[in-house]
Structure 1
Amino acid sequence: MAIDERSVHGGAALVLRLLVCVVAARAVSAVADGPLLNGNFEDPPNQSQMSGSVVTGEHAVSYWKTSGHIEFICSGQKQGDMVLTVPDGSHALRLGSGASIQQQISLTKGLYYSLTFSASRTCSQNEMLNVTAAPVSGSPAQTGELPTQTVYTSSGWDSYSWAFRAEAGLMSITVTHNCGEEEDPACGPIVDAFAIKTLSQPEASQNNMLRNGDFEEGPYIPPDSQWGVLVPPVDEDDVSPLPGWNIMAYKKSVKYIDSAHFAVPRGARAVELVSGVETALLQEVYTTVEGSWYRLEFSAGDADGCASSYDDGSSSGMKVKAYAGTAETTVDVDFRDAGGSKRGKIEFRATASPTRVVFVSLGYHTKSDNSGTLCGPVVDDVSLVPIPQPYARRLLL
């Protein structure tokens, strides 16, 4: 029986097109809230695309594109005398000097998203991680810089968050090791546990002039994470992983925590001020009217047995300072490591609009278990409401 050559070539072309479609589908993640595809790197590269622990093929790591010196790290692997650990599963990636990893993600154009991942510094004090979100075709790109100099936990691993607006339905997420001045080009941070979350944008209401005053909307917190997620400094024009709130600092962060692992005053989420006076949590309220009176209330507490102690065993306690416009108050937090919270209040007359609401910790603290983990007072359940005129007139007397 004769074989139709055109049918053979047509069938081959169809198979080729199907293979291309499969490869394209494998390269793009259509994800819901939660871990990215192979976000914890448990799907290992093929040995043919490895040289020892170094990844040699740019598409060797499933769903990721790599560039530069990338190492596939196994938990327990040694770097000199240091044993490398992995926060999620058994594997992670190390980014050498200038190295980057990238994944394409299918999102909903116009929505806001927060990326969460874990990182551990292994070398220089000056390591930085740059994060970029850009449409696969077109612009603009959104970029952020995450400082990793400060290690907040005794485990050496911290979880970071970064937020962006999806400018297209197909976005490329890139994490790059900004090397600074590394003596060893192979040296760099270990990254793992990548996840994403859609961020809603809570609005102010009649009961609260603040957006997201209860902190219930924020970045993805891995269910097994016992150390919360850091929210880094956010410039005024950037998207915040903590909608409604900005973090003002040079290179320090606040920590977003959950009630599954911390003592949260109300609801399921709160913010822990872990960087002392170097970091301020703030929100600007544009609906206040100059000359009118308002009441700011909030909870301040001890989220996780956080206290600085003197040699004689006495506790120095913690202090949260709150500002509302030109008014201020300080709340002492000292629950002897037992958790708990108390309410703070400011009644003030707006002298300008917008009114800036600010919270800052007045000290530096570590956990009382001597682990060295940085901690601080927790802030939650923040509300700002107008004071009725009859009561406001009494405040003037």
Structure 2
Amino acid sequence: MVGVTVVSLFLLLITTAANSAVVSFRDGILPNGDFELGPKPSDIKGTEVLNKMAIPNWEVTGFVEYISSGHKQGDMLLVVPAGKFAVRLGNEASIKQRLKVVKGMYYSLTFSAARTCAQDERLNISVAPDSGVIPVQTVYSSSGWDLYAWAFQAESEVAEVVIHNPGQEEDPACGPLIDGVAMRSLYPPRPTNKNILKNGGFEEGPLVLPGATTGVLIPPFIEDDHSPLPGWMVESLKAVKYVDTEHFSIPQGRRAIELVAGKESAIAQVARTVIGKTYVLSFAVGDANNACKGSMVVEAFAGRDTLKVPYESRGTGGFKRASIRFVAVSTRTRVMFYSTFYAMRSDDFSSLCGPVIDDVKLLSVRKP
């Protein structure tokens, strides 16, 4: 019996060490970030995870559930966006993983989240000392699942990624579902002699999960100290959507921004300018080929100057170009874009959509 006990203890220590180990980071899905590797039968009761090290590569705290696709909670059917399994975070529950990163480097975290039965669901995302609160009560797609991005700067060589539900529901099994946790390194671009703005083509941004067809939501600036869209701030109440050419129609390059929540969905950047000098702000406005039909208007701002750009969308892709000429009245000029109207997909009245912005350039010009 003593030998069996020693062997069991040894195996337990190996399992614990493996789960709590620091894993070298590579762009893509985190180790078991899709939660397809689950707890042993002895570490789960119904859906509740009993051991904090039960889910391989993750440490769980509080009331965490391991959910299989098609699981029913009363009349509600829980759907998993990819694969067969996801986790649900109950009141004050969290999941965390430790990764080896490069100190001083910027990283963007991408994950899928879906609300269930709570009224005011939100998530605290943190990699010390950075943290942010992402509300998930607004559902942007009819599937109920949305992809979110959040960014941080590594303060040490080990990043402890924590996703926490601060909720206080009467039913602890009413928290948000989490799946598809991934990460990528960010390389903040600089202004060039061809564009005073940084990342004007939106090519640098969060990881878009393979097979994801919804785009990635980038939360408002007030919820993110470091933008997962380098160079840009989301200065609005709602998120903007990062879309890719693999799943959407893009005016230029491989990435663009979709303004999915009317005037509540805005992006902005502050550029260095010379007082009295003339500048031209040019950009492309289009649709993402996602059945977002109808009359759209993008409002562009460059300091004190504004321009409204109408775009009649057939929802099948396409774009037009526009520009605004202005004279700088400050050494720092704010450039901002938002959509005048809300829009819904014509084939899915539960999914928010809007005009696409891309290829944004700011250059100084000689006076005519």
Aligned to 1:351: 329
Unpaired stretches in structure 1, ≥5 consecutive residues: 1-11, 135-140, 309-314
1:361-392 deviations in Å (ceiling 9; x for gaps):
0000011113421100000000000012xxx1
* Contact 1:116/1:221, CA 8 A, preserved across alignment: yes
Q: Find the counterpart in structure 1 of residue 146 from structure 2.
A: 158
Give the 5 Å matches for 1:37-186: 37-134=31-128, 141-179=129-167, 181-186=168-173
Distance of 1:333 and 1:372 partners within structure 2: 22
User: How far 1:21 sits from its partner (Å)?
Assistant: 7.5
Aligned to 1:334: 312
**Relative to 1, partners in 2 of residues 1:21 and 1:168: Cα closer, same or farther, differing over 3 Å?**
farther
Q: Are the equivalent residues in 1 in contact too, given 2:248–2:290 (CA < 8 A)? A: no
User: Number of residues paired by the alignment?
Assistant: 360
3-state DSSP of counterpart to 1:186: helix
Distance 2:13 2:100 in 1: 18
User: Structure 1: which amino acid aligns with 2:255?
Assistant: R
Give yes or no for the alignment of 1:244 onto 2:231.
yes
Using the TM superposition, name which of 218-227 and 367-376 deviates more. 367-376
**CA–CA separation in structure 2 for the residues paired with 1:82 and 1:321:** 40
Contact 2:149 2:228 in 1 (8 A): yes
**Higher CA-based Rg:** 1
Name the counterpart of 2:3.
none
**Conserved? CA contact 1:94–1:190, under 8 Å:** yes
Task: Give the aligned residue type for 1:242.
Answer: L
Query: Displaced runs of 4+ in structure 1, greater than 3 A?
Result: 18-26, 305-308
Q: Deviations over 1:276-330 (max 9, x none)?
A: 1112100001x2011111000000001134446xxxxxx4x11100001111111
Percent sequence identity is 47
User: TM-score by structure 1 length?
Assistant: 0.87
Q: Secondary structure at the match of 1:210?
A: coil
TM-fit CA distance, 1:97: 1.0
Give, as a single letter, the amino acid of the residue that structure 2 aligns with 1:290.
I
How many Å apart are 1:24 and its aligned residue? 3.5
8 Å CA contact retained: 2:30, 2:182: yes
Q: What's the counterpart of residue 343 of structure 2?
A: 365
Letter in 2 for 1:266: Q
Matched AA of 1:155: S
Match for 2:80: what amino acid?
V
Letter of the aligned partner of 1:123 in structure 2?
C
Report the TM-score when normalising by structure 2: 0.94
Q: Please, what is the CA RMSD of the aligned residues?
A: 1.8
1:270 counterpart residue number: 256
Please say if 1:197 is aligned against 2:184. Answer: yes
Q: Residues of 1 paired with 2:270 and 2:66: CA distance?
A: 44
Closer, same or farther in 2 for the Cα pair 1:159/1:330, shift >3 Å? Answer: same
Matched, 1:380 2:358: yes
SS in structure 1 at match of 2:350:
coil
1:226 equivalent in alignment to 2:220: no
Structure number with the higher strand fraction is 2
